[in-house]
Structure 1
């Protein structure tokens, strides 16, 4: 796939996202986004920044209220924003693998039975019938819940089990648009899961030259930078909701920049993370794709991003590494030294 055709894919997916969301967002009505991803996973920060970029590009607006799970205040939301839709951050935590997020989602539905609640695109996976039944009861009691999903299997599952509006929608990270990569340092980088969604334990002992990594955590210095930004904005006598939004945006920008630097080091990449796949597409980097433990990545690729020469559906770790090595030997990607300027934190106004 050429860089031009990769841009065509990204533009196409951005258009599909707008076709889904335009029915729930207006220029004049305020909206909230809940469950900011205050975690090391750079992919979740990419989703958040895609959500923010979409609102900016299409509506020139920002959410009126945002929160993490830990600092959510229903009373504050109602005071600041008595009307308007409530959005919940997208990702891959709809179900019972990541209980805290599902618990929070259902609490929001129960707390706001008369407000429209829209779930940004998610992948769905349940192991427990008991938990599935409870989710179905909560969703069934709420008569204005919209569930956007990232693959056909999740759509079919939701239509079967949940009494709500269900629509297929690409991942919000595509709204960031193309990202200029930093210069690569190594031929192949293995970005492999180390969490609950991993498949076994990937053994790279036969490949001592290939680094095996997962998303790294931010340094203490970067945390201090985000805190300093919050202190500086407070001096400007901004509204508390805007101060919170700026602080969360700063953290998301820091995390995504860190993630882009990390994966840009590989001329080619082998991964079982969906957002390493998505970020590799935004970077224009070739990559071999394995899957997580319930098929999330292949399901997403089948729906949206599988028709690209940049991504190879590997049958095994060895197969993926062999393809990545071959691609690294053959390709000569343009190397750029900076990220897109709009991925840098800057004042909003």
Structure 2
């Protein structure tokens, strides 16, 4: 299997320090390469995480995304790489939203910090994840709880206000956000000064194509609750294209991952339940990420309304056109981090997406 994470030495060291000029200036600035953007954002991720996690410190990482969405697996694996680089050790405790156990966490981590996996589920659009976040604040008052970079979306401002009160009562909660709109919401509605931090998936570093392209354009378009008004069928006129989404996976993927994880654990001499669970989680995430990278690699270019369609295209250094999701998450993230990427075009409709694809072909 190709490496999903390149070593820091391959990326960090010979490029400019992003802390002197984050995000490459304004929209009129010089276009920038994938290598520079990814390098800068990896350094920013290390800076942000070094403030909340110490070398050698035991920690928990919860909310493993045990579902098929490739982007969430990319976030998990990027976070795993980042945290292990900084702490020098894997998490002492991991759990899904359904598998969380307070006693097991306390026994494994002691008074160490609890880190919550990042993504786009902060708010009430995906309530099960918010439920876990709130439960952690209630159960562990005063203990360091760190929310890794998220996008925020509340439809119910009453629930946002209740969360703000939970955060105040807890007293030691750190929220990291991925875009300016989320940072403003955190400040105004939640009373939290949230640092702006890139998505953890970027820490995977540059990736190699998994296949030789066999179509001109892969159309990776949402079929879930976050899809916007763009109709998938409206791209029917685009020749030599393939329409896909990545939230459905082969029926045997979990079974295969479980079998391979069991072998991995035995070869590593892992007999504790926690270590074996982490091996399974990582194996599942790697297989899902590989599936997504292979899907994108089938095209010479990509048109997508998925945030991680954009981020993984950036890591692959693939030309792509980005449309928005239902609440501006994609454009907000690009505006914060990648608006000057040389192989990216932004679009607001089928017509502008097709025009952008045409520009990338020239």
Give the TM-score normalised by structure 1: 0.89
The 5 Å alignment of 1:128-207 reads: 128-181=156-209, 182-200=211-229, 201-202=231-232, 203-207=234-238
Q: 285, 298, 307: which is aligned to 2:340? A: 307
Alpha-carbon distance between aligned partners in 1 of 2:147 and 2:83, rounded to the nearest angstrom: 15
Which range moves more in the overlay, 300-309 or 319-328? 319-328
Alpha-carbon distance between aligned partners in 1 of 2:74 and 2:349, rounded to the nearest angstrom: 27
Alpha-carbon distance between aligned partners in 2 of 1:243 and 1:13, rounded to the nearest angstrom: 31
CA RMSD of aligned residues (A): 2.0
CA deviation map 1:184-215 (0-9, x unaligned): 11101111111111112332233364222111
Equivalent residue, structure 2, for 1:45:
73
2:262 counterpart of 1:231: yes
The 5 Å alignment of 1:221-260 reads: 221-233=252-264, 235=266, 236-260=269-293
TM-aligned CA deviation for residue 218 of structure 1? 2.6
TM-aligned CA deviation for residue 168 of structure 1? 0.8
2:111 counterpart of 1:80: no
TM-aligned CA deviation for residue 256 of structure 1? 0.1
TM-aligned CA deviation for residue 326 of structure 1? 4.5
Equivalent residue, structure 1, for 2:62:
34
Are 2:302 and 2:320, in contact at CA under 8 Å, matched by a contact in 1? yes
Are 1:143 and 1:164, in contact at CA under 8 Å, matched by a contact in 2? no
Are 2:62 and 2:97, in contact at CA under 8 Å, matched by a contact in 1? yes
Q: Number of residues paired by the alignment? A: 329
**CA 1:72–1:318: 2 relative to 1, 3 Å:** same
TM-aligned CA deviation for residue 239 of structure 1? 1.4
The 5 Å alignment of 1:51-70 reads: 51-70=79-98
Q: 293, 296, 299: which is aligned to 1:263? A: 296
Are 2:118 and 2:147, in contact at CA under 8 Å, matched by a contact in 1? yes
Equivalent residue, structure 2, for 1:322:
355
Equivalent residue, structure 1, for 2:17:
none
Alpha-carbon distance between aligned partners in 2 of 1:206 and 1:312, rounded to the nearest angstrom: 19
Secondary structure of the residue aligned to 2:218 is strand
Secondary structure of the residue aligned to 2:46 is helix
Equivalent residue, structure 2, for 1:336:
none
Secondary structure of the residue aligned to 1:168 is coil
Alpha-carbon distance between aligned partners in 2 of 1:165 and 1:55, rounded to the nearest angstrom: 22
Are 1:3 and 1:284, in contact at CA under 8 Å, matched by a contact in 2? no
Point out where structure 1 has 5 or more consecutive residues left out of the alignment: 331-349
Equivalent residue, structure 2, for 1:274:
307
Secondary structure of the residue aligned to 2:72 is helix
2:316 counterpart of 1:288: no
Q: 222, 244, 251: which is aligned to 1:213? A: 244
TM-aligned CA deviation for residue 317 of structure 1? 1.6
CA deviation map 1:249-301 (0-9, x unaligned): 00000000000000111111111110000000000000001101111111111
TM-aligned CA deviation for residue 101 of structure 1? 0.6
Secondary structure of the residue aligned to 1:298 is helix
Secondary structure of the residue aligned to 1:123 is strand
TM-aligned CA deviation for residue 325 of structure 1? 4.0
TM-aligned CA deviation for residue 4 of structure 1? 8.9
Are 2:79 and 2:201, in contact at CA under 8 Å, matched by a contact in 1? yes
